[in-house]
Amino acid sequence: MTTVGVEEEYMLVEPVTGRLVARAEKVRAAAGLEPFVTAREIQSELLQAQVEVATPVCGSLEEVGGHLLRLRHAVAGAAETHGCRIIASGTPPLRQALPVPVTDQARYRVMQQQAPQLVAEQMVDGMHVHVAVPGRRAAVQVLNRIRVWLPVLTAMGANSPFWEGHDTGFASWRTVVFGRWPVSGVPPCFADEADYDVRVRRLLSTKVISDTGQLYWQARLSETYPTVEVRCLDVQLRTDEAVMFAGLVRALVDTAVGEAAAGRKAPDIPAELIDVAMWQAARYGLSGELILPGGERRRAGDAVYGLLEHVGPALDAAGDTREVTSLVHRLLQQGTGADRQRQALAEGGLAAVIALLVETGGMP
């Protein structure tokens, strides 16, 4: 069975006011003392009000869910020890009185010197799904095939409607914030793995980006693991929603590997059309129409069912169909994280949004 791993990023907030607090190093250190947590599973991020967790390599969705729940509980407990809480939202709902300090690492200091305002506003959290692939040649073929589905995933995972105390009008404002970096958005189509490597070297040679970690494409090849990394998703309110996306992304990658092995040509969709589809997905989430890989507009639910149909055989082969489809149906009924944050706002203002995020941060 194809292996999968998940990374999640959380924000640290003061429990009553919901304001960001810069206590990441203290929280990381405390979480690392937990009996069943290793240091490599809890990592620093760009800003000191962020903490990232990374699961081990997993063979099943049950493993993914167990590790994410374990890590969320560890970080949530460590945060509480230091007088704060974790929230799982793609953006913070409230305006900050002062900028959050940058984590004291060389590459982060370079980024701050290069783009100070972008770094100051990079208070965004996502989830990344790594799926194993049989070599770089296959990995590039996977990128060429899954890129057309990234907008649908983005719409389903939208969980960042607020910024600086107001509703942005976007379901995933995090997607917009990330799109301001030099190398971002949906990846281009590559001829083969050599073309991928040449184009990455050219980008690095410009000195505008300092390393491959600044290839902020919504999907890319991992330089650390033999995986394709899908990065288009906001961090999810609940761990079972993260598990759903792990299953969908794995099935999407497995489907692409199978298509490439069978000699099927990758979809020839212009980059600008996928960019428009991504903007539409970030704007409306599942509350409006989405743009399908061929360019036609469809109800969001129809687009989601199109994705399920596309990956159906891969879900069956992995034994994930029942779990993933039931979670997708629940998502369509209850709405995205952005929908639920907005519902909380309508019912009780920003205080209710903060309460929702704090209450769900360390919970399943």
Whole-number pLDDT of residue 300: 97
CA distance 128 to 267: 24
**Which of 55-59, 95-99, 110-114 comes out lowest in average pLDDT?**
95-99
Q: What is the mean pLDDT of residues 281-303?
A: 93
Q: What's the pLDDT tens digit per position in 169-219? A: 999 999 999 999 999 999 999 999 999 999 999 999 999 998 898 999 999
Whole-number pLDDT of residue 171: 98
- Rounded (10°) CA dihedral 166, 232, 54, 254: 150
pTM for this one? 0.96
Distance (Å) of CA 256 to CA 122, 149, 215, 265, 309 = 32, 11, 22, 10, 14
Q: What tokens does 27 get?
A: 């929280």
CA distance 171 to 169: 7
| Eight-state DSSP code of residue 102 | B
Whole-number pLDDT of residue 34: 65
pLDDT at 362 over 90: no
Angle at 280 between CA 158 and CA 290, to 5 degrees: 90
CA distance 55 to 273: 34
Q: What is the mean pLDDT of residues 336-354?
A: 96
Domains in the chain (CATH in brackets) are 4-359 (3.30.590.20)
Please report the DSSP string for 22-84 in residue order.
--HHHHHHHHTTSTT--GGGEEE-SBTTEEEEEPPPBSSHHHHHHHHHHHHHHHHHHHHHTT-
Q: What is the mean pLDDT of residues 21-27?
A: 92
- Of 16, 13, 17, which is closest to residue 27 (Cα–Cα)? 13
CA distance 58 to 67: 9
Q: What's the pLDDT tens digit per position in 48-83? A: 999 999 999 999 999 999 999 999 999 999 999 999
Whole-number pLDDT of residue 363: 57
Q: What tokens does 299 get?
A: 């109800």
